[in-house]
Amino acid sequence: MIIRAGDVFTWERTFTEEETLQFAHLSGDQGKHHVERDEKGRLMVHGLFTASIGTKIGGDLNYIAREMVSEFVRPVFTGDTITCEITLTSVEQMEGIKKVALKSVYRNQHGKEVLIGTSHGIIRDELKIK
């Protein structure tokens, strides 16, 4: 796959109550706001669960993160549809790898930012079969 600085990738998902409760169980984060409904009948989705949307894109690129910085701007609730947009800010070819930096913006169904972040890491060059 050829990638360049400026390339943009997106992915979206709608968070369900069942998935949020499963994440609470798997992560051990059983904070009341994640397991008890608010006055509108919603659960607050874990920040790291929200951030996992970007890991789908990273997996598609075979990206290995070395550092991830996230700012959780506003809460996400079950029933919200979140779109993650990742922009490659730099791609540098090195011996056997590409050094990659990126920025991410996550928006809810109303277009409001819920999470912004940056990351840098590598993508290994594909092995050539002889």
- Radius of gyration over every alpha carbon of the chain, rounded to an integer in angstroms: 17
* C-beta of residue 49 within 8 angstroms of C-beta of residue 23: yes
Question: What pLDDT, on the 0 to 100 scale, is given for residue 126?
Answer: 75
Going from the C-alpha of 39 to that of each of 15, 42, 55, 76, the distances in angstroms are 18, 8, 31, 15
10 Å Cβ neighbour count for 55?
15
Residue 63: pLDDT above 90? yes
Alpha-helical runs (H) found in the chain? 17-27, 32-35, 47-61
SS3 state of residue 93 = strand
Residue 35: pLDDT above 90? yes
- Give the pLDDT band (50/70/90) at residue 50: very high
Q: How many CA atoms within 13 Å lie on the side-chain side of 72? A: 11
Q: Is 36 exposed, middle or buried (0-12, 13-18, 19+ CB in 10 A)?
A: exposed
Residue 127: pLDDT above 70? no
- pLDDT tens, position by position, 77-102: 999 999 999 999 999 999 999 999 99
